[in-house]
Amino acid sequence: MVTTQQTPGLIGRKVGMMTVFDASGRARGVTVIEVTGNRITQIRTQDRDGYQAVQVGAPGKRHRINKPESGHLRKSEAESLSELREFRVLESDSFEVGQAIGADQFEPGTFVNVTGTTKGRGFAGGVRRWNFRGGPKTHGQSDRHRAPGSIGAGTTPGRVWKGQKMAGHMGNRRRTSLNLLVVYSDPARQLIFVQGAVPGPRNGTVIIAHGRRNPLSDYAPPIFDLDQLEEADIQSDTPIDEGDTSEETVVAEKVDDDTSEETSNPSDTEDDV
């Protein structure tokens, strides 16, 4: 089943992970994704193609571009795009070829699916690849501590089942993390903060698409909103009126209260002496 939304997805770069605190004080581990330079390169219509979708390209260098690809990219005013991806939309007529799209496509509180290529681990054994327990450490064992054990039965079925968990190449597979919460979106810097981990290493290419879950109604955005921080800095720089002596009056009243408490308990002072 293909997910269709009002706005298309994005192609981004995984920057890394960090911890943020929302308005309720809850710590959230988030992944920062940069989505700079996304541009629409082609539009699919119902009349011509039988479905509605838009093709999105991410900036970067591609080697050995042939003439048809070069002409296709020239229409969107982009000489070089590293990757192209198509996203289904409800109304493709509302978009234009060459239109720039960014982080404002995803609002905080919505869910997204992030696709990427996992880290390659090379050839790995069953203990690392599948979390096998291994063999016993005693009772005559000498070299079977990390062995996988039996991989099949005898005469029946007389073979090893396809897909049997064994040692082999680990990682470097295309995987998708479903329904990740968008914690914060920064259109000014083209950054999207997604709760949880996404596949791939740092600087790896990831694809962000709309999830199938509905947005949270009671979601509280993080406390490090850039607009709020700028307003707080401006308010802290405002000068204090010299004629306002309310703070001095409060300090004087505090000193008077402390003095009255010391004089009202002379017995405590005599006992201490």
Which pLDDT score is estimated for 7?
Answer: 86
What's phi and psi for 38, nearest 5 deg? -70, 135
- In this prediction, residues 3-23 reach a mean pLDDT of 88
Query: Is there a contact between 82 and 62 (Cβ–Cβ < 8 Å)?
Result: yes
Contacts of 169 (CB under 8 A, 6+ apart): 122, 123, 124
The answer to whether 102 and 35 are in contact (CB under 8 A) is yes
Task: Supply angle C-alpha 88, 85, 12, rounded to 5.
Answer: 110
- The residues near 148 (Cβ < 8 Å, ≥ 6 apart) are 125, 126, 132, 165, 166, 167
Ranked by mean pLDDT, the top range of 163-172, 178-187, 242-251 is: 163-172
- Check whether 176 has a pLDDT greater than 70: yes
pLDDT of residue 4: 67
- Pairwise CA distance, residues 25 & 75, whole Å: 48
Per-residue pLDDT, averaged over 134-152, amounts to 90
Percent of the chain predicted with pLDDT > 90: 48
pLDDT at res. 93:
85
Residue 132 has pLDDT above 80, yes or no: yes
pLDDT at 35: 94
Residue-range domain boundaries for the chain? 10-133+166-231, 242-272
Name the phi and psi angles at 261, rounded to 5.
-70, -35
Average pLDDT score over the chain = 81
CATH number attached to the domain at 10-133+166-231: 2.40.30.10
Q: What is the pLDDT of residues 94-107, one digit of tens each?
A: 899 888 999 998 98
Neighbouring CB atoms inside 10 A of 208's CB total: 28
Query: What's the pLDDT tens digit per position in 198-232?
Result: 999 999 999 999 987 766 656 666 655 555 444 44
Q: What is the pLDDT of residue 217?
A: 53
**Mean per-residue pLDDT, 171-191:** 93
Can you give the pLDDT at residue 173? 96
Give the percent of the chain with pLDDT over 70: 76
Assign 3-class secondary structure to 157-171.
Answer: CCCCCCCCCCCEEEC
pLDDT given at position 56: 93
pLDDT tier at 38 (50, 70, 90 boundaries)?
very high
